[in-house]
């Protein structure tokens, strides 16, 4: 009887300590022995069930699932409060906080799965289920996620291409810099490809191509040149403008020419565009030396008014063969003034007349010894006759009182020779003197 009361007292005491005594707490730990819960084991699928690579660029407005098949090895001790961590791939994201029960293939609910928005880890906290069940501990987890690439707004503006050209050295125009600018206009450029066609007078400079984003990020580019066509290709998705640069060299080092270039753009996102450009090379300007004129020969008809000084050929003429009525241009006929000759006064001769001499300006036809005059139709020509004395004709010099002997000419046919008049006057004077003297002998003396 006493033994029964003793066991009853011990049972009540034990129940009291269980109910009111401090709880027994063990140290929780992360179960690192589990498999299938790391990022490489996760399988990403789209809404059609297609498996997607962990490197794919997934739009943030599209839904995807991340799937795990996990397992805990047998005989690994698990107590309530222990945890297991699931790693989430970097190309997907958790957009909201979530918490849900996790089930195993046996034992029902084995713990609680917790997710935080923006985190790339999920944590399961185990309950007491696996403290008892130590065999076949495995399960399946599926998480709903979204992509990480920002979604693009609805866009109806296509891409645009701009192309330009400039000489590498303007003073030596043999190399050309070409620039192709792709304006994305909020479109995604996927695997861009440029196909360039050159005119036949220049060619691509190998290794000169460079492709960059608008912010200067360098993009690897593959170049393929076939004749006058060059292809530039790149891989990846790009949201910013692209800038392609490269060089060509001219086939001829100089000479006037026009160098043309056209480009076609195409990518995997159905973007396309076309652009053209050209550049001219002009002939160099050769400066002329100032104030230098080409000399000309004297007397050239194309250069009138120029004359070599002091080289004028003096005029020559055949004696006795001068054609009447002609004279050298620019020569002036000298005015020969005959001195006035007065008849000496005879004593007692009241009615004596003074000899009148012809005025110097009175002209009469020139009579030239040795020339015969013949008449034609309204023309008078002089025909030279054979001289009888076989002596050359001589010209009588005429002197000008003004001492201007530079512009003298022989008397013309319409002039009286001054020497003939002088002789005539002298003869008349002598005759008058003779008559006067004879008359004086017949007067008587008183």
357 and 425 Cβ atoms separated by less than 8 Å: yes
**What distance lies between CA 320 and its chain's CA centroid?**
80
The CATH number given to whatever domain includes residue 213 is: 2.60.40.740
pLDDT the model gives residue 223: 96
37 part of a folded domain? yes
Question: Which of the pair, 362 or 237, is modelled with greater confidence?
Answer: 237
Q: Would you tell me how many other CB atoms lie within 10 Å of the CB of residue 238?
A: 22
Using the predicted structure, report yes or no on whether residue 319 has a pLDDT greater than 80: no
Range of the domain at 37: 28-147
- DSSP H stretches of helix in 378-445: 418-440
Question: Which of the pair, 341 or 189, is modelled with greater confidence?
Answer: 189
Do both 36 and 141 map to the same domain? yes
pLDDT the model gives residue 336: 44
Do both 426 and 351 map to the same domain? yes
Do both 121 and 40 map to the same domain? yes
The pair of structure tokens assigned to 219 is 């993009």
Q: Could you give the number of structural domains in the chain?
A: 3
The CATH number given to whatever domain includes residue 76 is: 2.60.40.1280
Question: Which of the pair, 332 or 177, is modelled with greater confidence?
Answer: 177
Question: Which of the pair, 429 or 257, is modelled with greater confidence?
Answer: 257
Asked which of 204-208, 269-273, 410-414 is least confident by mean pLDDT, the reply is 410-414
Which residue, 115, 147, 179, sits at the end of a domain?
Answer: 147
Question: Which of the pair, 129 or 362, is modelled with greater confidence?
Answer: 129
Q: Are strands 92-93 and 210-213 parallel, antiparallel or unpaired?
A: unpaired
Do both 117 and 203 map to the same domain? no
Distance between terminal CA atoms of the chain? 248
Alpha-carbon Rg for the chain, nearest whole angstrom, is 68
The pair of structure tokens assigned to 397 is 């010099």
Position 412 confidence tier, pLDDT thresholds 50, 70, 90: very low
Model pTM score:
0.37
What is the rounded distance in angstroms from the CA atom of residue 374 to the CA atom of residue 368?
14
Asked which of 186-190, 251-255, 428-432 is least confident by mean pLDDT, the reply is 428-432
Question: Which of the pair, 24 or 40, is modelled with greater confidence?
Answer: 40
Mean pLDDT of the chain: 75
Asked which of 141-145, 207-211, 340-344, 376-380 is least confident by mean pLDDT, the reply is 376-380
Find tokens 């069930």 and name the residue: 49
Best-predicted range by mean pLDDT among 212-221, 319-328, 348-357?
Answer: 212-221
Which residue, 147, 169, 190, sits at the end of a domain?
Answer: 147
Position 400 confidence tier, pLDDT thresholds 50, 70, 90: very low
Position 398 confidence tier, pLDDT thresholds 50, 70, 90: very low
Which residue, 281, 302, 325, sits at the end of a domain?
Answer: 281
Model confidence over 263-311: pLDDT tens digits? 999 999 999 999 999 999 987 766 666 665 665 655 555 555 445 554 4
pLDDT the model gives residue 420: 67
Using the predicted structure, report yes or no on whether residue 321 has a pLDDT greater than 60: no
288 part of a folded domain? no
11 part of a folded domain? no
Using the predicted structure, report yes or no on whether residue 369 has a pLDDT greater than 70: no
pLDDT the model gives residue 326: 44
Position 34 confidence tier, pLDDT thresholds 50, 70, 90: very high
Q: What percent of the chain has pLDDT over 70?
A: 61
pLDDT the model gives residue 433: 78
CB proximity list for 438: less than 8 A, separation 6 or greater: none
| Strands, sheet with 109-115, edge to edge from the N-terminal-most edge strand | 83-87, 121-126, 109-115, 98-103
395 and 319 Cβ atoms separated by less than 8 Å: yes
pLDDT the model gives residue 428: 79
Section 103-107 average pLDDT: 81
């Amino acid at each position: 009887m006493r033994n029964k009361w003793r066991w009853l007292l011990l049972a009540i005491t034990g129940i009291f300590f269980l109910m009111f005594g401090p709880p027994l707490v063990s140290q929780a730990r992360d179960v690192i022995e589990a498999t299938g819960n790391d990022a490489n084991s996760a399988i990403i699928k789209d809404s059609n069930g297609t498996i997607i690579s962990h490197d794919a660029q997934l739009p943030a407005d599209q839904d995807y699932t991340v799937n795990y098949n996990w397992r805990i090895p047998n005989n690994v001790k698990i107590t309530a409060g222990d945890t297991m961590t699931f790693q989430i791939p970097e190309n997907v994201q958790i957009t909201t906080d979530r918490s849900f029960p996790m089930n195993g293939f046996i034992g029902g609910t084995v713990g609680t799965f917790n997710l935080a928005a923006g985190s790339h880890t999920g944590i399961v906290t185990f309950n007491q289920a696996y403290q008892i069940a130590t065999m076949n501990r495995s399960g399946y987890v599926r998480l709903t996620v979204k992509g990480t690439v920002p979604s693009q707004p609805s866009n109806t503006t296509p891409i645009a291409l701009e192309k330009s050209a400039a000489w590498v050295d303007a003073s030596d125009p043999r190399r050309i810099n070409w620039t192709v600018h792709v304006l994305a206009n909020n479109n995604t450029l996927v695997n861009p490809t440029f196909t360039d066609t050159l005119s036949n007078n220049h060619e691509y400079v190998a290794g000169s191509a460079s492709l960059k984003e608008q912010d200067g990020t360098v993009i690897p580019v593959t170049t393929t040149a076939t004749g006058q066509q060059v292809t530039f290709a790149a891989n990846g998705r790009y949201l910013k403008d692209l800038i392609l640069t490269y060089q060509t060299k001219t086939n001829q080092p100089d000479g006037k020419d026009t160098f043309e270039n056209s480009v076609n753009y195409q990518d995997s996102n159905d973007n396309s565009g076309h652009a053209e450009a050209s550049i001219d090379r002009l002939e160099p300007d050769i400066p002329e030396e100032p104030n230098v004129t080409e000399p000309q020969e004297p007397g050239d008809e194309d250069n009138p008014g120029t004359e070599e000084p002091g080289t004028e050929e003096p005029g020559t003429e055949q004696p006795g063969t001068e054609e009447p009525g002609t004279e050298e241009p620019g020569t002036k006929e000298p005015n020969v003034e005959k001195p006035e000759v007065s008849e000496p006064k005879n004593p007692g001769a009241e009615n004596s007349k003074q000899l009148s001499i012809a005025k110097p300006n009175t002209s009469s036809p020139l009579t030239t010894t040795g020339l015969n005059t013949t008449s034609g139709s309204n023309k008078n020509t002089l025909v030279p006759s054979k001289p009888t004395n076989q002596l050359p004709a001589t010209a009588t010099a005429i002197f000008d009182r003004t001492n201007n002997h530079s512009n003298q000419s022989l008397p013309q046919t319409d002039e009286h020779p001054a020497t003939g008049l002088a002789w005539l006057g002298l003869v008349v004077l002598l005759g008058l003197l003779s008559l006067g003297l004879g008359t004086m002998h017949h007067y008587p003396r008183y």
